[in-house]
Amino acid sequence: MAVVIALVLVAIGSVTFHVLSPWWWTPIASNWGYIDGTLTVTFWITGVVFTAIVLFMAYCVLRFRHRPDHTAEFGPENKRLEWWLTIGTTVGVCVLLAPGLVVWHQFVTVPASATEVEIVGQQWRWSYRLPGRDGRLGTVAVRWISPENPLGIDPADVAGQDDVIIEGGDLQLPIGRPVKILLRAIDVVHNFYVPAFRAKMDMVPGQVTFFWFTPTRTGAFEGICAELCGLGHAVMRARVVVVEAPEYDAWLERQPTFAPRVASVQ
């Protein structure tokens, strides 16, 4: 009976915790409302299944508990039950995957008006590259990476001369403008994650990954590395500041560009 009571309390406690959890009121700072909607659907599906299984276990413990006048009964395999379990599991997996595929399509479908911003991860800090007045980012290549040019910008590319480079500082973004985040890693696998933006993506050396979002709330939001990348992983923090457009434009004008480095690189 103690085991039965414990299982029932686990089911009731889990449901109560998720209903009353402050996670449901976490402010969202981007346009990813449907990601939270997908999480809610997933919670309901997995929550119902979890609760049903735990309560079924409690029923079995109570119903088939040991009693002196009862003996165990052997039963052969039940093909009908196996078919029902197989079909039910398949349907459940499909129900869980379908919303994720829709969300993923939206996650990687970047609006044409999005501004490109590059984030580069390396042990153990973040660097950022934003387009200058021409609105374009210059090309990069591994062969150009050096202590004077840590992001590997091509010195001969005119589009890269006015690229804004921020090493170790805050990244500022304007509110209400879609942003395409280009992600690179110089050494090992990293993952740029700002929980309030509901967006994250692995940064794989030799590849350029991306995601996009639109900031919808001003404020400062903490970012972290969500992929174990070495001894300094825990201190690999970032801060993304979302501001009004005029404040962002003024901030961008004050930032250093790649042009002063061209002479030393060449």
Residue 191 has pLDDT above 90, yes or no: yes
Amino acid at 187: D
pLDDT digits (tens, 9 = 90+) for 110-123: 998 899 999 999 88
In which band, very low, low, confident or very high, does the pLDDT at 175 lie, cut at 50, 70 and 90?
Answer: very high
**Looking at residue 102, what is its pLDDT?**
84
Q: Could you give the CA distance from residue 65 to residue 57 in angstroms, rounded to a whole number?
A: 11
**What average pLDDT is seen over the chain?**
86
**Looking at residue 147, what is its pLDDT?**
80
**Looking at residue 198, what is its pLDDT?**
85
Q: Which residue has the higher pLDDT, 59 or 100?
A: 59
Residue 246 has pLDDT above 60, yes or no: yes
45 contacts 96 by C-beta, under 8 angstroms: yes
**Looking at residue 262, what is its pLDDT?**
63
**Looking at residue 23, what is its pLDDT?**
66
Residue 50 burial (CB count, 10 A): 15
Residue 258 has pLDDT above 80, yes or no: yes
169 contacts 104 by C-beta, under 8 angstroms: no
Q: Could you give the CA distance from residue 253 to residue 61 in angstroms, rounded to a whole number?
A: 69
3-class DSSP state of 68: coil
Which class would CATH give 115-265?
A: mainly beta
Distances (CA, A) of 132 to 178, 182, 184, 208, 253: 17, 16, 19, 20, 9
Q: Could you give the CA distance from residue 226 to residue 212 in angstroms, rounded to a whole number?
A: 17
**Looking at residue 254, what is its pLDDT?**
87
Please name which of 105, 103, 85 lies closest in space to residue 40, comparing C-alpha atoms: 103
Q: Could you give the CA distance from residue 188 to residue 11 in angstroms, rounded to a whole number?
A: 41
CA dihedral sign, ordered 249, 253, 256, 259:
positive
Residue 167: CA count within 13 A, CB half-sphere? 10
**Looking at residue 117, what is its pLDDT?**
93
Residue 264 has pLDDT above 60, yes or no: no
Distances (CA, A) of 88 to 23, 38, 74: 30, 21, 25
pLDDT digits (tens, 9 = 90+) for 113-172: 899 999 999 888 899 999 988 888 888 888 888 888 888 888 888 888 888 888 878 899
Residue 27 has pLDDT above 70, yes or no: yes
Domain boundaries, the chain: 2-66+76-108, 115-265
pLDDT digits (tens, 9 = 90+) for 198-219: 888 899 998 899 999 999 999 9
64 contacts 72 by C-beta, under 8 angstroms: no
183 contacts 206 by C-beta, under 8 angstroms: no
